Amino acid sequence: MFSRAWIARSRWVVLIGLLVVLAAGCVSVPLEASWASVTLLGSPAQVLFAYADRMVMVDPLDGSVAELRDADGNVRLDEQGNPRTWIVTNSNPKYTFYTRPIELQDETLLVAAYESRLLEVDTITARVLNPEGHALAGHGIASPLQNGNLLYVPLSSNSLDALNMETYETVWSFKTERGVWATPLLHEGVLYVPSMDHTLYALNPTTGEEIWRLDLGGAIAATPVVANGHLYVGSFAKKVFKVSLEGSIVAQYETSEWIWGAPAVVEDQIYVADLAGYVYALRDTGDAFTEIWSRQVAQRGIRATPLVTEENVIVGSRDHNVYWVSRETGEEVNKREMRGEVLADLLLLQPGDGTEIREPLVVVSTLAREELLVAFTLDNGERRWVYGL
């Protein structure tokens, strides 16, 4: 269990680290991330929450910790006769988790711990199979990407390493001037790597050979989005870019502050948020972005990618609020106050996507230990459940 002091410390490490990065011209510094990874896993699907000292599997129906079951479906019991639950927490050595695990074929998860280790976790017993881990060449703060027998691991120091999935030995390493803080994108045989050195790289995914590079004027902290035959990416240059697959800037739009998260692309409409709390709705007209609307939705920064539904755009902010705004006008529709800052990407759960829920839910993660996860109804923001400590 982690304390309020720990959460506050990790939060400030991120902010101070970013200031150091800027002041030193983006010199790489060790970073302890302060946002969670929230994803769906398994069948029936559970919410896998990875943050700080734990990974937890949460039931999307009620927010309870999932129970461990044997091959016959019976709940596993501990020595006192209590149900065993799906929690991987600190033991010896200590590990911290912020990245999305990769699900392997043999009921095993592969997760990059911050402490420069790859860990294998048994999904049946919720147990780390290799407590010492496989060594990485740097801190893991972004999720790896698997491509066949290769595992691409972004490192906060200054490289993207491709590892053999069987031996975890390095096949190739691509060096950047600064760290890689986001998962690379693999599209049509090209690996696109965003870097904190202001550059978007295109690599051969087999050899790591550089195909092209493009300077976007500021650090890139999120995975590019591929849509409409182009890449869409935001940067700390206070701009969102449309980039051709050949590596040229096709269109750009200036924002009020840094863009940390990825844009959300829905057909020809682009939605992006910045660290001043603004949300922008843009139309892609081919060689330019035209503004549909822009509005300061929150009083503090919005780190994550906006969640776009048929009628609304949903964002969480460092000001302890989640906002529903109209896709058409940008006007606020709903606001829900949280106990802590919202930095992680929101997770949309739909009936029929492997879960047993009966209505669409939005799962929000905060930095408050009482509200590590909160599920709201998609349309009107009614609270359905809370997972906390």
Tens-place pLDDT, residues 313-350: 999 999 999 999 999 999 999 999 999 999 999 999 99
Report yes or no on 310 lying in a domain. Answer: yes
Give the C-alpha separation, 27 to 374, whole Å: 36
Report yes or no on 279 lying in a domain. Answer: yes
What's the pLDDT score for residue 80?
80
Q: Which residues pair with 336 in a beta bridge?
A: 322
Give the C-alpha separation, 38 to 296, whole Å: 26
Residue 321 maps to which CATH number?
2.40.128.630
Give the C-alpha separation, 102 to 130, whole Å: 16
Report yes or no on 31 lying in a domain. Answer: no
What is Dmax (Cα atoms) for the chain?
66
Q: Tokens representing 293?
A: 């609307």
Report yes or no on 311 lying in a domain. Answer: yes
What's the pLDDT score for residue 91?
64
Q: Tokens representing 299?
A: 């009083």
| CA-based end-to-end distance of the chain | 8
Low-confidence ranges of the chain (pLDDT < 50): 1-33
Q: Tokens representing 309?
A: 């539904």
What's the pLDDT score for residue 92?
62
List pLDDT tens digits, range 242-278: 999 999 999 999 999 999 999 999 999 999 999 999 9
- The reply to whether omega before 44 is within 30° of 0 (cis) is yes
Report yes or no on 348 lying in a domain. Answer: no
Report yes or no on 288 lying in a domain. Answer: yes
Q: Residue 143's closest CA among 175, 176, 181? A: 181
Could you tell me the residue range of the domain that residue 285 belongs to? 216-337
DSSP state of 238: T
The total number of structural domains in the chain stands at: 1
> Which residues have a Cβ under 8 Å from the Cβ of 310 and sit 6 or more positions away?
327
What's the pLDDT score for residue 29?
32
Report yes or no on 265 lying in a domain. Answer: yes
Q: Tokens representing 334?
A: 């709903």
Give the C-alpha separation, 91 to 198, whole Å: 38
Report yes or no on 190 lying in a domain. Answer: no
